[in-house]
Amino acid sequence: MNKRLLAYIALAVILVCGIYAVSRHHNEGSLTHDGSYSNLKDLYEDPGNMDLSQVNGVADVIVQENLSKTMAANNVAAVVYDFRGFDTLGESFILLTAIAGSFIVLKSVAVGEKGSEKKEDA
């Protein structure tokens, strides 16, 4: 069997599975921390409607004391930037280092190609 045909079939299967998963997720709603499904749009518009009777552990701290501890209105932003700020800073540093390293390598390759073209012309 042709490798290109096999690659196309694999991509088609992945695409169909992705479409199925997204449509199923959209129809059922989003699973929350307590195992129930909720309408996240309504929850975002009025967070007071959230049932807090089932939360425990770290989720309890994040949900109950988020505003007083972090002054962030969004729980995700509070976790990423306040509770895990140093980790996020380290990941950002690694990302910027990788980008700078890639730029240096690609620039040196481009300069090397120009140098070889000049030698061939001479």
Using the 8-state DSSP alphabet, how is residue 2 labeled? Answer: -
Measured CA angle at 56 (ends 50, 61), to 5 deg: 80
| Domain boundary assignment for the chain | 1-31, 84-122
DSSP state of 49: G
Confidence class of residue 110 from pLDDT cuts 50, 70 and 90?
confident
C-alpha 73/C-alpha 26 separation (Å) is 25
Q: Find the radius of gyration of the CA atoms of the chain.
A: 25
Residues 6 or more apart in contact with residue 117 via CB below 8 angstroms: none
6-20, 43-57, 74-88, range with greatest mean pLDDT? 6-20
- Burial classification of residue 34, based on how many CB atoms lie within 10 Å of its CB (0-12 exposed, 13-18 middle, 19 or more buried): middle
Top-confidence residue, 49 or 5: 5
54-108 pLDDT, tens per residue?
656 666 666 777 777 777 777 777 777 766 777 778 888 999 999 999 999 988 8
Q: Amino acid identity, residue 83? A: F
Contact status, residue 84 vs residue 76, Cβ threshold 8 Å? no
pLDDT of 55 reads 57
Looking at the chain, the whole-number percentage of residues with pLDDT higher than 90 is 16
- Which pLDDT score is estimated for 98? 94
User: What is the pTM (predicted TM-score) of this model?
Assistant: 0.33
